[in-house]
Amino acid sequence: MSDTLSIEGREDLLARGYSRRNLGRVAAVLGAGLAFKATLRNAHARAMTALPAGQDVTKLVRIGSNECWTGPFPAAAKLGAEAVFHGNRYDPTGNMRTNLIKTFASTENMPEETVMPWGGSSDPLCRTIVTFCSPTRGLVTADPSYEAGWVTAEWLNIPLTKVPLDPQNGYKTDVRAMLKANPNAGVYYICNPNNPTGTVTPLEDITWLVENKPKDAIVLVDEAYIHFSDTPSALSLVREGKDVVVLRTFSKMFAMAGLRLGLSITRPDLHQKMMRYDGENQSYMLPIPAVACGTKSLTMHNDIEARKHEMIAARNMTFAHLQKRGISYIPSDANMFVIDWKRPAAPIKDAFLKEKILIGRSWPVWPNASRITVGSMAEMKAFCAALDRIITA
Ligand SMILES: Cc1ncc(COP(=O)(O)O)c(C=O)c1O
């Protein structure tokens, strides 16, 4: 399997302390984010085994996976559907990928050479960790936070340090504690807004980490949920030429999780390092319906704003209900939030499933808490009604 890595890539990995045995594992991660996919499959299998036999997932209120409650913006979906009819070509117009890059660059005021598209953001997430971490340069993240990086680190024997979110400080990612926990890490991962809490890390904190991190380390800012919040993007740090990689996905606000499209945005020399293991293939093998749909979505500013406010209305309604019921939750700036049940979350999740509502998972550090995705207003009303039946005390 490691045969698929370039000679330069193999030499680089060995020089940075990866074992020969791990070369095949790196190839699996880069090939298609396989380590992450295996985890996803496991998580999916776990979710499925929790379903009573014969239960049809499409009949459930699905507020467990941070998907959007509705489909892609109709005008964008139309272009995606039209692209299907030209699916005999790798790139029907010869410039679909370039057009995606140009469109993102112009909407975000970024140099085009900083933008790299992918079939989702999972590949560049894992790839950044492969490239800038090693058995001697660890990964530091908040806890709880999105786990794809954890899985990659564990898979490749990269030291992993998880720093608890700070309850005294609005559960925001504690960048100073992250640097203290491992002053020699290869990657500091900040999910902003954070999954699962939806809490934001101020740009000043991210900037502080960038200014104080060790030389050659990367601050990886995962902005999967940024369109749902008003927090400023770390793209400005990329523009300034800092050691920052920003990730964007089309799976959340743009409702394209099943279509697969994402972007990494960073300095060209850093992208070049990320590509040295397997060339640029993974960035060129893009599903054209996703490229057509995603490119149009980026320009639909009014629809983005309207969808954000639709989500906020459903979230506010739910929070008002939780407050009325005296149920503890963490205020969120994204399309998800955490409820602290003050007792084990697993039986509560099962009870919701009996009500045909699939809520999200718990993180090992908070076994009494569940992540809830904000669905449509109707879905959140169904959630609140079920909650009243389940939590009677
Ligand atoms: C924070 C975060 N980053 C990345 C991803 C992966 O997204 P994609 O569908 O683009 O691979 C997810 C998916 O849930 C996520 O929550």
Most informative mutation of 141, 227, 249 for ligand 1 (most atoms within 8 A of CB) = 249
Residue ranges per domain, the chain? Answer: 2-40+75-298, 47-63+301-390
User: In whole angstroms, what separates CA 89 from the centre of its chain?
Assistant: 30
C-alpha 66 to ligand 1 mean position (Å): 9
Q: What are 80-83's contacts with CB under 8 Å, separation 24+?
A: 80/259, 80/289, 80/290, 80/292, 80/293, 81/289, 82/292, 83/288, 83/289, 83/291, 83/292, 83/293
Among 66, 68, 121, 222, residue to substitute to test ligand 1 (most atoms within 8 Å of Cβ): 121
> Max CA-CA distance within the chain?
63
69 Cβ contact partners less than 8 Å away, ≥ 6 residues apart: 374, 375, 376, 379
Which tokens is 157 given?
């024997």
| CATH of the structural domain 2-40+75-298, one choice from 3.90.1150.10, 3.30.470.10, 2.40.110.10, 3.40.640.10 | 3.40.640.10
Token pair for 124? 């560049």
Q: How far is the CA of 325 from the centre of ligand 1 (A)?
A: 32
Identical fold between 2-40+75-298 and 47-63+301-390: no
Give residue 232 CA to ligand 1 midpoint distance, Å. 19
Digits of tens for pLDDT over the chain (393 positions)? 566 788 999 999 999 999 998 898 888 888 655 555 555 555 555 554 456 666 788 899 999 999 999 999 999 999 999 999 999 999 999 999 999 999 999 999 999 999 999 999 999 999 999 999 999 999 999 999 999 999 999 999 999 999 999 899 999 999 999 999 999 999 999 999 999 999 999 999 999 999 999 999 999 999 999 999 999 999 999 999 999 999 999 999 999 999 999 999 999 999 999 999 988 888 998 999 999 999 999 999 999 999 999 999 999 999 999 999 999 999 999 999 999 999 999 999 999 999 999 999 999 999 999 999 999 999 999 999 999 999 986
Residue 311 carries which side chain, given as an amino acid letter?
M
Sequence-distant (≥ 6) Cβ neighbours of residue 108 within 8 angstroms: 233, 235, 265
Residue 249 Cα to ligand 1 middle (Å): 7
Nearest atom, ligand 1, residue 66 CA: 14
Residue tagged 């892609």 (tokens): 72
Cβ < 6 A, ligand 1 pocket: 66, 120-122, 125, 146, 191, 195, 222, 224, 249, 251, 257, 262
Query: What CATH code would you report for 47-63+301-390?
Result: 3.90.1150.10
What are the two backbone dihedrals, phi and then psi, of residue 315, each rounded to the nearest 5 degrees? -70, -45
**Minimum-distance ligand 1 atom for the alpha carbon of 125:** 4
Kindly tell me the sign of the dihedral angle through the C-alpha atoms of 146, 147, 150, 155.
negative
CA distance 265 to 107: 13
Question: Ligand 1 center to residue 120 CA distance, Å?
Answer: 8
